């Protein structure tokens, strides 16, 4: 329940405050969003398997975001920023897809 | 279990806050992407973009140069060919007048030669034509039917004079386009054409006109033997 409230609050706040992403964070925000989405989809899957844990969710969320941002930062420093972001997005995308597939199997049994 | 619940509550809140932050970030990024600028692009990518823009710029500039050169060339050549066509048309018109294949009009005179049968012979007609030409006649026709051109011949015939294939009978009216005064003088000068015809008992009347229209055309066959040589 609380996460859904959070989701709504976040969207509303985003529309009301009309934030702009600060320039230094610009390369990291998209990757961080994908990483966080990965954590959220994983959490939904765990919820469906009735083994959801707040602690695991919070830690995986934060660590996902941090690691993704760190990789992009490292990539930028090494001069392979765009390639590494692509790689991170591919990996996270694969994870999101597999988790989504698991959720689908639970919900539709297909 | 109790401890778990106590710890669970703030963690649930934290999870909610994280989801809210995620939603917030998504919205923020979403709006960011709707702005069509390059503030979110990395320096290296900007450099690449700039380079490719430069390259395509140069390519397009080269293309512009080539195309405008081609356009200028085409414009020149079409202007040239127009001029050439104009000149050729003018020349053709002049030659048509010379060759007698085109009607002509302009100021000129009409000379009427009449008299007894042998007063006006082919020789007299030829002389009068030469006299008129000497005076600058540009187009000459006799009796309105025989156009006098380079190939025209004069031949005495039984009932008159054969001029370039057509038989003419007296009285002969020579129409000529040119300076009327000069040509009239050329016919009338003492010892000239008029005197010669009158010696033989004929009469010569000269009429200067502001406008002489000559519609007779010379019938010139294609040259059968002569070919242009260069």
- Position A6 pLDDT exceeds 90: no
- Position B78 pLDDT exceeds 80: yes
- Position A41 pLDDT exceeds 60: yes
- The pLDDT value recorded for residue B3 is 46
**Pairwise CB contact (< 8 Å): A54 & B15:** yes
User: Which 3 state secondary structure label does DSSP give B95?
Assistant: helix
Best A25, A58, A63, A74 member to test B by mutation, with max B CBs in 10 Å, is A58
Higher-confidence residue of A1 and B107: namely B107
- The pLDDT value recorded for residue B35 is 63
User: Which 3 state secondary structure label does DSSP give B204?
Assistant: strand
Of B206, B228, B73, the C-alpha closest to B131 is B206
User: Which 3 state secondary structure label does DSSP give B152?
Assistant: coil
- The pLDDT value recorded for residue B8 is 57
Question: Per-residue pLDDT averaged across A28-55, rounded?
Answer: 86
Residue B7: band (very low, low, confident or very high) from pLDDT cuts 50, 70, 90: low
For the record, the structure tokens of B196 come out as: 């010669």
- Closest Cβ–Cβ partner in A14, A23, A58 for B27: A14
Place of tokens 């009449």: B114
Q: Is the dihedral of CA A30, A31, A34, A40 positive or negative?
A: negative
| B39 touching chain A per CB within 8 A | yes
**Pairwise CB contact (< 8 Å): A79 & B44:** yes
| B92 touching chain A per CB within 8 A | no
CA distance A37 to A51: 19
All residues at 6 or more sequence positions from B128 whose CB lies less than 8 Å from its CB, including other chains = B111, B113, B174, B187, B193
Q: A18 CA to chain B: closest CA distance, Å?
A: 7
- Position B4 pLDDT exceeds 60: no
Higher-confidence residue of B62 and B228: namely B62
| A48 touching chain B per CB within 8 A | no
pTM metric for this prediction: 0.47
| B46 touching chain A per CB within 8 A | no
| B20 touching chain A per CB within 8 A | yes
| B11 touching chain A per CB within 8 A | yes
Q: How high is the ipTM of this complex? A: 0.80
Structural domain boundaries of chain A? Answer: 23-108
- The pLDDT value recorded for residue B1 is 42
Is there a contact between A29 and B28 (Cβ–Cβ < 8 Å)? yes
- The pLDDT value recorded for residue B38 is 67
What's the Cα-to-Cα distance from B29 to each of A61, A92, B23, B42, rounded to whole Å?
Answer: 18, 18, 10, 16
CA distance A15 to B151: 101
Question: Per-residue pLDDT averaged across B182-202, rounded?
Answer: 81
Q: Is the dihedral of CA A11, A14, A20, A21 positive or negative?
A: negative
Minimum Cα–Cα distance from A7: chain B residue:
B20
For residue B44, the chain A residues in CB contact (below 8 A) are: 79, 81-82
- Position B2 pLDDT exceeds 60: no
- Closest Cβ–Cβ partner in A2, A15, A37 for B15: A2
CA distance B106 to B8: 120
Q: Is the dihedral of CA B71, B72, B73, B79 positive or negative?
A: positive
Range with the lowest mean pLDDT among A64-73, A100-109, B164-173? B164-173
Residue B193 CB neighbour total at 10 angstroms: 24
| A87 touching chain B per CB within 8 A | no
| B21 touching chain A per CB within 8 A | yes
Of B137, B111, B107, B108, the C-alpha closest to B196 is B111
- pLDDT, tens digit (0-9, with 9 covering 90-100), for B119-169: 778 888 888 888 888 888 888 888 888 888 888 888 888 878 888 878 888
């Amino acid at each position: 329940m609380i996460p859904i409230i959070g989701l709504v609050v976040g969207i509303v706040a985003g529309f009301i405050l009309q934030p702009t992403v600060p320039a230094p964070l610009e390369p990291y925000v998209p990757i961080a969003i994908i990483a966080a989405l990965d954590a959220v989809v994983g959490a939904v899957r765990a919820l469906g398997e009735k083994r959801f844990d707040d602690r695991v969710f919070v830690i995986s969320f934060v660590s996902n975001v941090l690691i993704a941002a760190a990789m992009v930062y490292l990539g930028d420093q090494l001069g392979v920023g765009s390639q590494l972001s692509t790689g991170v997005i591919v990996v996270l995308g694969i994870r999101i897809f597999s988790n989504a597939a698991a959720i689908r199997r639970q919900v539709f049994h297909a | 279990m109790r401890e778990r619940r106590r710890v669970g509550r703030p963690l649930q809140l934290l999870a909610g806050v994280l989801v809210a932050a995620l939603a917030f970030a998504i919205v923020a990024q979403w709006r960011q992407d709707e702005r069509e600028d390059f503030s979110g692009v990395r320096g290296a990518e900007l450099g690449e973009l700039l380079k490719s823009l430069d390259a395509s710029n140069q390519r397009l500039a080269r293309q512009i140069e080539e195309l405008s050169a081609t356009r200028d060339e085409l414009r020149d050549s079409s202007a040239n060919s127009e001029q050439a066509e104009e000149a050729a048309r003018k020349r053709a018109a002049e030659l048509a007048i010379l060759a007698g294949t085109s009607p002509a009009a302009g100021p000129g005179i009409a000379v009427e030669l009449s008299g007894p049968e042998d007063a006006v012979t082919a020789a007299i007609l030829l002389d009068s034509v030469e006299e008129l030409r000497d005076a600058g006649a540009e187009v000459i026709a006799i009796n309105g039917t025989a156009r006098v051109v380079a190939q025209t011949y004069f031949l005495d015939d039984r009932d008159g004079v054969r001029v370039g294939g057509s038989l003419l009978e007296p009285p002969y009216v020579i129409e000529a386009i040119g300076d009327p005064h000069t040509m009239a003088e050329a016919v009338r000068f003492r010892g000239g054409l008029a005197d010669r015809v009158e010696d033989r008992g004929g009469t010569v009347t000269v009429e200067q006109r502001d406008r002489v229209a000559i519609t007779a055309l010379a019938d010139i066959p294609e040259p059968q033997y002569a070919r242009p040589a260069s």
